[in-house]
Amino acid sequence: MRLSEHIYRTVSSLAGHLLFVRKVFSSRIGEVARIIAPDGRVMEGEVLKIEGEDVLIQVYGETRGLDIERTSVIFTDSVKKAPLSEDIIGRRLNGSCLPIDGKPLFIPEKWMPISGYPINPSSRASPKEFIETGFSALDGLNTLVKGQKLPIFSCAGLPSKELAAGILRNAAAKGEKGFVVIFVALGLTHHECSFYTDVLEEMQGGFAAFMNKADDPVMERLLAPRFGLTVAEYLAFEKGMDVLVVITDMTNYCDALREVSTAREELPGRRGYPGYMYSDLASIYERAGKIKGMKGSVTILPVITMPEDDITHPIPDLTGYITEGQIVLDRELHRKGIFPPVDVLPSLSRLMQSGIGERNTRGDHRKIANSLYKYYAKGRELRRLEAIVGRDSMTEKDRLMLDFADTFEKEFISQGERRRDINETLDTGLNILKRFSLD
């Protein structure tokens, strides 16, 4: 037995999910520790902090029943690893990769560290194929491309949950080995958990879900995205599949990161978040991509609820530096009953041009998108003038632009829960342009 695997019975205190152990001979930050309860239960934890011979451990799971005198700790000298197999498709697991769907754990083909392996920049392939989400505001004007990382910026009270569910149901991509959605849900309430469970049961396969509840250990909230991305990398780069990773809500992840940082007594940065939050988020988002010579891809679509509707808040601000665009949900569109309430003007997909190509069976995708953007932007600008001088005082051409903006929102952006393929999306845009004789 190695020294790092000695059994320690020197627990000094227990506070919530935090366990303090004294006189530890050897351990390291991030190391997995096994905690043996007095009743024989075995739990896992992670080393958060080391001060001399004192070690702070975050326990995964219920700490009820632990006491200071009879609890034992074993340091394993290993990092957290994910069990990998194609049998994970169709399964629901918690943030520690344990089944929550009533079925036994699948037999792993291999185990891999959840930290993953960085993609060499010179090995990255240029994204060239789009992923169809079924929503016109995304597919037509802010196209998602294989290997991209494209966040959705939402606000409290907006239907980001319903949008994420629609993408889970509707997303599709062409590929030789198949298409899989990895769904990672963080800090779910009971109602949200029931909602997403119903959505996943309707899907009948083609997904793997990691669901972390609000009352689960905070460390599981940090582990769940890494488990999901490790599975995504395995399916993409070893099995040749195209994988879309939907993560909701990254705000809960960042709050968990701040909580763990506080437990480590680290100096806070902006708004109390740790100074290394940028590099931590990058370690998640940069796992998206395609590799030259390999058929699979990993695409990340994270949902961020902006605190206080502030896009300059550290979470959306740092996310914007790392990712390749953003999809912005708008409260005014939501008030009008438009779903999804995507504000296409501040939204942007920087890789759209690479993914849509020059032409489509319905015409030039880029030309249609540019025309819709141009006339909708004019209509939005004229709404300010209408509020000042009134509609009757405006020219006939200006009133036409106002009508176009209203029609565009009601018929193109708004589509309810009905799925549209890319051809129907382009047909809808063309019909609106022709109706107003604009193009």
Residue ranges of the domains in the chain?
A: 3-75, 81-119+144-353, 365-435
CATH topology for 3-75 is: Thrombin, subunit H (2.40.10)
Contact 178, 387 (CB under 8 A): no
Question: In whole angstroms, what is the distance from residue 338 CA to residue 382 CA?
Answer: 20
Q: Are 91 and 105 in contact (CB under 8 A)?
A: no
Tell me, yes or no, if the two domains 3-75 and 81-119+144-353 fold the same way.
no
Which letter does DSSP use for residue 413 in this model? I
Confidence of residue 364 (pLDDT cuts 50, 70, 90): confident
pLDDT at 2: 47
What pLDDT digit, counting tens, does each position of 198-210 carry? 999 988 778 999 9
| Banded model confidence at residue 329, pLDDT cuts 50, 70, 90 | very high
CA 62 to chain centre: 26
Query: Is the link from the previous residue into 340 a cis peptide, with omega within 30 of 0?
Result: yes
Tens-digit pLDDT profile for residues 282-321: 999 999 999 999 889 999 999 999 998 999 999 999 999 9
CATH class of 81-119+144-353: alpha beta
CA-CA distance, 182 to 95, in Å (whole number)? 13
Is pLDDT at 3 greater than 70 in this prediction?
no
Distance CA 75, CA 57 (A): 10
Token representation of residue 123: 């090995």
Average pLDDT, the chain: 90
CA pair distance 27, 204, nearest whole angstrom:
44
Distance CA 98, CA 225 (A): 14
**Which residues does residue 45 pair with via DSSP β-bridges, in sequence order?**
33, 59
Inter-helix orientation angle 218-237/277-285, to 10°: 30
Residue type, 381: E
- Read off the pTM: 0.90
Greatest alpha-carbon span in the chain: 87
d(CA 128, CA 136): 19
Structure-token match 């498709």, residue found: 89
Confidence of residue 15 (pLDDT cuts 50, 70, 90): confident
Q: Which residues of 21-60 are buried (b: 16+ CB within 10 A; e: fewer)?
A: beebeebeeebbbebbbeeeeebbbbbbbeeeeebbbbbb
Helix (H) or strand (E) holding 424: helix 422-435
- What is the mean predicted confidence (pLDDT) over 391-395? 88
